[in-house]
Amino acid sequence: MVLCAIVGSATALSATIPNDSTQYDKPRKSRLTLGGYGEAVASRMFYSNNYKRYTDASMYKDAKGFGQFDLPHVVFFVGYDFGKGWSIGTEIEFEHGGTESAVEIEEEETGEYESEIERGGEVALEQFWVQKSFSPAANIRAGHIIVPVGATNYGHMPTEFFTVYRPEGENTIFPCTWHETGVSFWGRHKDWRYEAMFIAGLDADRFNNKNWIHGGSGSPYEFKMATAYAGAVRVDNYSIKGLRLSLSGYLGNSANNTLNATGKYEGLHGTVAIGAFDFLYNDHNVIARGNFDYGHLSNSLEITNANKSSRKDSPSPKNSVAEAAIAMGVEAGYDIFSLISSLHQRGHRFYLFGRYDYYDSMFKTVSSMVDETEWGRQKVTFGFNYYPIKQVVIKGEWSNRIFKPQYNNEPTLSLGVAYYGMFHL
């Protein structure tokens, strides 16, 4: 059924669709789908959370750590199949148990308390679309949709990555989960799945040094500016049993896609170009995933200068933006319960895993811009994923965020529980 696709993930987007389009005229036992996913996390950080820990790193080398509880994502799905190839999907997300407005201490500025609005409104409507399916190979979707660039945006359910939080590299430099309003064409034919979309461009006013273009997808206003447009594509191949190989990309201008752009970004394009490769192997009781992402921004110096000169009450972060950013990561886990037949037959899974990430939101800067080296990081993670049933996972991990020698590393211990389920009524 087409409505199974509402989750926008690797599994759901290639949901089972009737091989003959005339089957849409036949009655179905289930038209309504409800579902969702959620995560609850407890963490202990063995490093200081003082905003000066990068600018005056030597002062915080032996500082006391801190702990926190978090609800990273709680999401509800509703989908309905009207028949004759027409279906709808919606997804409402609560991040960190709140309403997407928060107070935080700015690490890269003066340590002042700052109110932050990630997106206008009280909750995030992450998906809302209408779809017409002609066949498994041809589907048109219009509305608010997931942009499947990179591994995490394609597979963002908590059962689709080992770490307690979403993989840190892509989740830093890209919007995750990246969702925009537009139209897409997608389908699957034999061992190939493909998708192309036309969407609103990013907003250069929201770019920054710590997260590169991450904030450019959101809008602090009650609407999303669409003076500039963009395109995204993704191609997946399943020719080898248990293996998916994927290429994805994005191209669009960003400099004039904000309020009061006249004068501020005069004559600039701010073109964002992203290329990404990712893979998934799942066979022989082994799961392995990996990604490599590279992004380029034109006019980065001019955008930096324009943003820094913004009014004090502007929502712009008002700091430097790199010309290029990079993220790469790989993880692998083995189900040790596969060695215990009684547990394996009852559906229990226990993966021991390791992961490595390298990412830098200021990987390349123009010569006249200060290279802020604290944003180039590595991260190693070791942990477990225990599945008592298919839909529920308990996660534990130790990780260490590794910086260049002048900074202090950031070890963390985390424990989380998550679920993902779809229910057809």
**pLDDT average, residue stretch 245-257:** 94
Task: Say which residue, 117 or 247, is predicted with more confidence.
Answer: 247
CB 79 within 8 A of CB 89: yes
pTM score, whole prediction:
0.87
| Residue 120: pLDDT band with limits 50, 70, 90 | very low
CB 4 within 8 A of CB 12: yes
Lowest-confidence range among 136-145, 155-164, 165-174, 262-271? Answer: 262-271
**Mean of the per-residue pLDDT values for the chain?**
87
The distance in angstroms from the start CA to the end CA of the chain is 13
Range among 208-212, 235-239, 308-312 with highest mean pLDDT value: 235-239
Q: Apex CA 416: angle with CA 411 and CA 420, to 5°? A: 140
| Residue 107: pLDDT band with limits 50, 70, 90 | low
Block residue for tokens 């123009």: 366
- Residue 256 to residues 180, 207, 284, 296: CA-CA distances in angstroms? 17, 13, 50, 17
What is the domain-level CATH number for residue 206?
2.40.160.10
Of 86, 241, 76, 68, the residue nearest 164 (C-alpha): 68
Task: Say which residue, 258 or 175, is predicted with more confidence.
Answer: 175
Residue 265, pLDDT score: 84
**Position 221, amino acid:** Y
Residue 109, pLDDT score: 54
Distance CA 143, CA 81 (A): 16
Q: Which two tokens stand for residue 163?
A: 């770490």
Distance CA 318, CA 201 (A): 20
**1, pLDDT greater than 60:** no
**94, pLDDT greater than 90:** no
Residue 389, pLDDT score: 95
**350, pLDDT greater than 70:** yes
Residue 8, pLDDT score: 42
pLDDT digits 0-9 by tens, 153-179: 999 999 999 999 999 999 999 998 899
- Residue 102 to residues 50, 51, 385: CA-CA distances in angstroms? 18, 16, 31
Distance CA 134, CA 405 (A): 57
**292, pLDDT greater than 60:** yes
- Residue 334 to residues 283, 296, 399, 400: CA-CA distances in angstroms? 10, 36, 18, 21
**23, pLDDT greater than 50:** no
Residue 124, pLDDT score: 81
Domain hosting 87: range is 2-424
Residue 225, pLDDT score: 82
- The contacts of residue 68 (CB under 8 Å, 6+ apart) are 42, 43, 45
How many domains does the structure of the chain reveal? 1
Of 304, 98, 278, 288, the residue nearest 170 (C-alpha): 278
CB 111 within 8 A of CB 105: yes
pLDDT digits 0-9 by tens, 213-242: 999 998 777 788 888 999 999 999 999 999
How many C-beta neighbours within 10 Å does residue 405 have? 6
| Residue 22: pLDDT band with limits 50, 70, 90 | very low
